Amino acid sequence: MWTCTWPPTMCSWNCAWPAWISIRAGCPGWAAWFNFILIGARPHPMNDLALLSVPQSSRAALLRWVALGLACYQQQQPRDAWETENDWWQQHWPPANGPLADCIRDLNLNIRETFLLLLTGQVETVPHITFALHGLQQPDSNGSLSVHLALELVDNLFAPTPPWTTLDLLNSPLLQHNVLTLEGDVPLPLQSLRMDTALWSVLNEHRPLWPGTHPLPEAQRQLLPTRSRQALPKLAEMLHSGELRTLIIRGHPNSGRHLMAAELAALLDLQPIATPLALWQQNGPFQLACQHANWLPVVQVNLAAGEALQWPTSQPHHPAVIIINMDGAVAGEGCLEHLIGLPDQAQRQALWQHTLGDNTLAQQLSGSALLSGPTILQLSHSAQRLARQSNQPVTADMIRQARQQQGTEKLRLLAQPVLRDVGKNAVVFPPLIDQYLEDMIARAQRRESLWCNLGDTMQASSNPGLRALFVGESGTGKTLAASYLANRLGAPLYRVDLGAVMNKYIGESEKNLGLLLDQAAAADVMLLFDEADSLFGSRTDAKQTGERYANNLTNYLLSRIESHPGIVVLTTNNRERIDNAFNRRIEVIIDFPLPGFQERLRLWHSHLGQRSPGADIIRSLASHCDLSGGQIRNAVLTAAGTQSAQEPLAARALIQAIAREYQKLGRSMPPALDNLGR
């Protein structure tokens, strides 16, 4: 039997290994330079091989086995020591316990392939192994294991098995699954075998996250819609059994897709990690690492309308989750799609109540804003910060401010916020238009419950979205009405920037519109398409390429606007320019006429305020001046710029400003107004 006389300066274990061992590789800190002394027979009549105990994880014993083989090849250890240990492994193959043993079984590696796998891995992390190989391959060596030396080692240590060739190595699972890679622009025997250090770290039971990935936050199941929460156990069971390989979670941004992935990971006892698509598509070391580090890869895929992704099948099979927006498609073996929607009104009210503690406000917000659980949580925290700054309780206005600021970075790339606080007294419309706007507000506030108890046909086409077309000449108050609606509904208003949306490259405009609508749906903001006929214009016979492209864009808008769950307002000067298909899909169409006498009278009073020149003059202006509300606004601003802010506006200054507005229209000012200014 052998006992160890360890060199104190070399052995980190300092244990003076007391056990009886039949081969020197049995001690936990063994390396090729350790000294062992034969001290005699064993004290019990046991089989020598039985004295070699494999630890709970076989990793350490396997690494010692490789180190012993290399030392034997260098003639630093006797051949019989290697053959004794190698015979033991041959009889107990494959190894058990630990990520390394699991990898060997999953790839069905034989003993020679395993030896090369472990040796190549140790080259990356164990200095004396690297130096040893460097010495064996001088003068042309960087310390990596060359194909020639790998084949020589295998043939020498595992004789009398049939010799290995370069083709055997190329066709082995090690290279087929990219566990090992070849490097070097030289003939194959001179190329080097390399292994990703991140994978080697996982196999050695050191599990830092793979470079380029990051962990997902802890699951918060209560923020998920009820339907998605109920689906979790079955989806987890399907992923665990292998019936389902990849789950595709489709939804709007911040809808809880990543939270659902994290919850699935918790049910599967895996760690969810956000993974770049390119990393998963490498289809090799990272997928193997996920298998043995107990990671659940969560891959965000950004596809535009009409784009598709063929999802690669992992080898060995390991569950994965894809996060995707509303556009595009993913196809692959064993894939299943789950659409994550919004919490219903009762769940939203419970979330607002839980985060704000105000049942009245929670009831109001749950009906007016169709928001996801994560968005409600974020808005509540933002509003509470605003409340603490002003030392007041949270109000609906604070929620609106938070919605204006929260998570709109991508939306602002394609639309501009309209920051107007337009109250009831600031808008002047005919009674019929007022009634239409009030009806629209009432419908918008009930747009989710509107379908309740209606017939089957209505239920089949239910959609909480609301689409409106405002028609009228410039200055009749279409944009102001949109701001008023947003203010009454407590929703942010964004004017679509057509210059940012439209792109000369085919497909880019659709991609921008898809992103715009996804972001708007996630924040439940109101979208304003000013001068909408430039986007929603009538389709043509498409005799030229440009016309066909414009028609395709219109077709895409038709389908996306119809399914959009938010509020969209389109404005135009001429209804005839809007494609008929859009007219059929628009629920509310409001014609904004030029103001009549009563509306003009209210407009002049509303614009002039305390600087009014007098009731008689205002009445005369309303009687003889047939300008729109926007033109009246311009005239008042022009006149106000000529006088002190503390003085009433002079009638002469107003008449001069009105004359300029008529001049811009190419018309003469009515003579009655000219006499009023004298």
Domain-embedded: residue 265: yes
Average pLDDT over residues 554-577: 84
* Measured CA angle at 51 (ends 47, 55), to 5 deg: 145
Q: How far from each other are the two terminal CA atoms of the chain, in whole angstroms?
A: 126
Per the CB < 8 A criterion, the answer to whether 314 and 240 are in contact is: no
3-class DSSP state for residue 159?
coil
CA dist 532 and 495 (Å) reads 11
> Quick check: 50 pLDDT over 60?
no
Q: Which of 261-270, 318-327, 477-486, 638-647 shows the lowest mean pLDDT across its residues?
A: 638-647
Q: Which of 109-123, 166-180, 526-540 shows the lowest mean pLDDT across its residues?
A: 526-540
Token representation of residue 595: 């103001």
> Do 468 and 585 have their domain in common?
yes
Percentage of the residues of the chain whose pLDDT score is greater than 90: 28
Per the CB < 8 A criterion, the answer to whether 125 and 198 are in contact is: no
Average pLDDT over residues 310-332: 84
Partnered with residue 330 across adjacent β-strands are 309
Kind and range of the H or E run holding 591: strand 588-592
Average pLDDT over residues 404-429: 85
Per the CB < 8 A criterion, the answer to whether 68 and 75 are in contact is: no
> Do 512 and 387 have their domain in common?
no
Q: Band of the pLDDT at 47, cuts 50, 70, 90?
A: very low
Average pLDDT over residues 50-78: 74
Q: Band of the pLDDT at 58, cuts 50, 70, 90?
A: confident
Pick from 607, 368, 572: nearest CA to 479: 572
* Measured CA angle at 145 (ends 140, 150), to 5 deg: 110
pLDDT at 5 (0 to 100) = 43
Tokens 């020149």 sit on residue? 613
> Quick check: 656 pLDDT over 80?
yes
DSSP tag of 137: T
What pTM was estimated for this model as a whole? Answer: 0.78
Q: Does the N-terminal peptide bond of residue 160 adopt cis geometry, omega within 30 degrees of 0?
A: yes
Q: Which of 134-138, 151-155, 491-495 shows the lowest mean pLDDT across its residues?
A: 134-138
Burial annotation 381-417 (CB, 10 A radius, 16+ → b, else e): ebbbebeeeeeeebebebbbbbbbebbbeebeebbee
CA dist 275 and 270 (Å) reads 14
Chain centroid, CA 505 distance in Å: 25
CA dist 30 and 242 (Å) reads 41
Q: Which of 339, 362, 392 delimits the end of a domain?
A: 339
CA dist 439 and 560 (Å) reads 25
> Do 378 and 245 have their domain in common?
no
Chain centroid, CA 100 distance in Å: 33
Domain-embedded: residue 455: no
Domain-embedded: residue 415: no
Task: Provide the residue type at 22 as one letter.
Answer: S
Q: Are strands 214-215 and 271-275 parallel, antiparallel or unpaired?
A: antiparallel
Backbone angles phi, psi at 7, to 5 degrees: -75, 120
Q: Band of the pLDDT at 494, cuts 50, 70, 90?
A: very high
Q: Which of 544, 562, 592 delimits the end of a domain?
A: 592
CATH number at residue 368: 1.10.8
Partnered with residue 97 across adjacent β-strands are none
> Do 62 and 116 have their domain in common?
yes
Q: What is the DSSP secondary-structure string of 358-404?
A: -HHHHHHHHHH----HHHHHHHHHHHHHHHHHHTS---HHHHHHHHH
Average pLDDT over residues 626-637: 90
Which of residues 532 and 359 earns the better pLDDT score? 359
> Do 441 and 581 have their domain in common?
yes
> Do 604 and 633 have their domain in common?
yes
pLDDT at 280 (0 to 100) = 87
Q: Which of 93-102, 346-355, 651-660 shows the lowest mean pLDDT across its residues?
A: 93-102
Domain-embedded: residue 47: no
Q: Which residues contact 321 (CB under 8 A, 6 or more apart)?
A: 246, 247, 248, 249, 261, 264, 272, 296, 297, 298, 299
> Do 329 and 349 have their domain in common?
no
> Do 332 and 231 have their domain in common?
yes
pLDDT at 249 (0 to 100) = 96
List strand residue ranges (DSSP E) for 190-239, in order. Answer: 192-195, 214-215
Q: Which residues contact 539 (CB under 8 A, 6 or more apart)?
A: 550, 551, 554, 555, 579, 581
Q: Which residues contact 454 (CB under 8 A, 6 or more apart)?
A: none
> Quick check: 481 pLDDT over 80?
yes
Q: Which of 55-59, 301-305, 504-508, 591-595 has the highest mean pLDDT?
A: 591-595
Per the CB < 8 A criterion, the answer to whether 531 and 469 are in contact is: no
Pick from 19, 6, 17: nearest CA to 53: 19
Percentage of the residues of the chain whose pLDDT score is greater than 70: 87
Q: Band of the pLDDT at 54, cuts 50, 70, 90?
A: very low
Q: Which of 592, 609, 631 delimits the end of a domain?
A: 592
Q: Which residues span the domain enclosing 509?
A: 424-450+463-592
Domain-embedded: residue 181: yes
Domain-embedded: residue 413: no
Per the CB < 8 A criterion, the answer to whether 520 and 465 are in contact is: no
Average pLDDT over residues 139-158: 85
> Do 334 and 237 have their domain in common?
yes
Q: Which residues contact 117 (CB under 8 A, 6 or more apart)?
A: 104, 109, 174, 179, 180, 195
CA dist 299 and 323 (Å) reads 6
Q: Which residues contact 390 (CB under 8 A, 6 or more apart)?
A: none
CATH number at residue 487: 3.40.50.300
Kind and range of the H or E run holding 136: helix 127-136
Domain-embedded: residue 48: no
Overall number of domains in the chain: 6
> Quick check: 409 pLDDT over 50?
yes
pLDDT at 57 (0 to 100) = 63
What is the residue-averaged pLDDT of the chain?
A: 83
Per the CB < 8 A criterion, the answer to whether 33 and 7 are in contact is: yes
CA dist 577 and 307 (Å) reads 30
pLDDT at 260 (0 to 100) = 95
> Do 585 and 608 have their domain in common?
no
Q: Which of 54-58, 146-150, 594-598 shows the lowest mean pLDDT across its residues?
A: 54-58
Over its C-alpha atoms, the chain yields an Rg (Å, rounded) of 37
pLDDT at 266 (0 to 100) = 92
For the stretch 440-470, pLDDT in tens is 999 988 888 887 788 878 777 778 889 999 9
For the stretch 276-301, pLDDT in tens is 998 888 767 888 889 888 999 999 99
> Quick check: 243 pLDDT over 80?
yes
pLDDT at 549 (0 to 100) = 59
> Do 574 and 430 have their domain in common?
yes
For the stretch 517-559, pLDDT in tens is 888 988 899 999 888 777 776 655 555 545 555 666 777 777 8
Kind and range of the H or E run holding 665: helix 651-665
Token representation of residue 280: 């998963």
Pick from 506, 488, 586: nearest CA to 551: 506
Q: Band of the pLDDT at 24, cuts 50, 70, 90?
A: very low
pLDDT at 421 (0 to 100) = 85
pLDDT at 248 (0 to 100) = 95
Instruction: Tell me how far CA of residue 122 lies from CA of 143, 193, 221, 564, in angstroms.
Output: 11, 12, 43, 56
> Do 395 and 429 have their domain in common?
no
Domain-embedded: residue 270: yes
For the stretch 309-320, pLDDT in tens is 888 776 667 899
CA dist 372 and 388 (Å) reads 24
Average pLDDT over residues 119-138: 85
Average pLDDT over residues 61-72: 88
Instruction: Tell me how far CA of residue 90 lies from CA of 70, 74, 94, 95, 312, in angstroms.
Output: 17, 22, 8, 10, 35
